[in-house]
Amino acid sequence: MALDRAALLLLVLGLGLAGAQKTLEEVPLQPGFEARRVEGRWFTLRLAASHGDLVSPTDPLRLALHSIHVEDNGDVAFLLLWRGAGVCGGENVTVHPTELQGQYRGSFEGGRLRVRFVGTDYSSLILHVRFEDEDVTSLWVLLARGKLEDPQWLGKYLGFVGKFHLQEAPVFNVDGQCPPPR
Ligand SMILES: *[C@@H]1O[C@H](CO)[C@@H](O)[C@H](O)[C@H]1NC(C)=O
């Protein structure tokens, strides 16, 4: 009887562990993803991460995604802009297609990046970014073509925030060019 209970306990724990393991692979991909249709300007509406202290609301430096470009070779470039405390700049972070449609790979600041287009109707977009250096950080981003949240996509996004136990972080949107140097 005691043995049976131990076996049952192991089975339950085993299933639990299998479940936890599975969530790592459970980041979906937009079926039939068409990269060309995500080109252009996007606004960040929500951001959540696997680490809580990723973005400090008091940090004067604001980093924001501005737009997405698709190169002729299929690479996807994310134009990131930063502003604040006397600095202003931008950089394209380029990722390359993988064997999975909608999944891209690249590197950033010495770490490895994996980007997944989780879901999109090309007006709203849920993006998953996995950044790996000494640590692994997952970012989940809800983007839209305008500043209004589509309740359906917000619902999907919040579903992932709950499922993966993510911490929501403040978001910034930065526009335009740097002022000319004086
Ligand atoms: C990023 O790439 C776009 C499209 O190729 C280009 O127009 C823009 O000047 C680039 N920006 C930076 C900061 O490199």
Largest CA distance in the chain: 82
Least confident span in 16-20, 66-70, 106-110: 16-20
Candidate from 92, 177, 178 with most ligand 1 atoms within 8 A of CB, to mutate? 92
* Of 84, 87, 108, 88, nearest in space to 96 by CA: 108
Residue with tokens 């010495």: 110
Task: For residue 24, name the pLDDT band (cuts at 50, 70, 90).
Answer: low
Instruction: Show Cβ contacts of residue 48 under 8 Å, excluding neighbours closer than 6 positions.
Output: 139, 140, 141, 160, 161, 166, 167, 168, 169
Q: Is 67 in the pocket of ligand 1 (CB under 6 A)?
A: no
The whole-number average pLDDT for the span 83-105 is 93
What is the 8-class DSSP label of residue 58? T
Q: Are 123 and 150 in contact (CB under 8 A)?
A: yes
54 has a pLDDT exceeding 80 = no
Q: Is 77 in the pocket of ligand 1 (CB under 6 A)?
A: yes
131-178: per-residue pLDDT in tens?
999 889 999 999 999 999 999 999 999 999 999 999 999 898 988 777
Instruction: Quote the pLDDT of residue 114.
Output: 96
Task: Report how far residue 182's alpha carbon sits from residue 162's, in angstroms, rounded to the nearest whole number.
Answer: 47
Task: Report how far residue 130's alpha carbon sits from residue 142's, in angstroms, rounded to the nearest whole number.
Answer: 15
Ligand 1: nearest atom to the Cα of 89:
13
The residue ranking higher by pLDDT, 174 or 40, is: 40
Predicted model pTM: 0.83
Ligand 1: nearest atom to the Cα of 69:
4
Q: Is 80 in the pocket of ligand 1 (CB under 6 A)?
A: no
Domain boundaries, the chain: 31-169
Instruction: Quote the pLDDT of residue 21.
Output: 44
Instruction: Quote the pLDDT of residue 156.
Output: 97
Ligand 1: nearest atom to the Cα of 77:
2
* Of 99, 136, 175, nearest in space to 24 by CA: 136
The whole-number average pLDDT for the span 39-68 is 88
Six token digits for residue 23: 């969530």
State the fold for domain 31-169. Answer: Lipocalin (2.40.128)
Task: Report how far residue 65's alpha carbon sits from residue 82's, in angstroms, rounded to the nearest whole number.
Answer: 9
The whole-number average pLDDT for the span 48-59 is 81
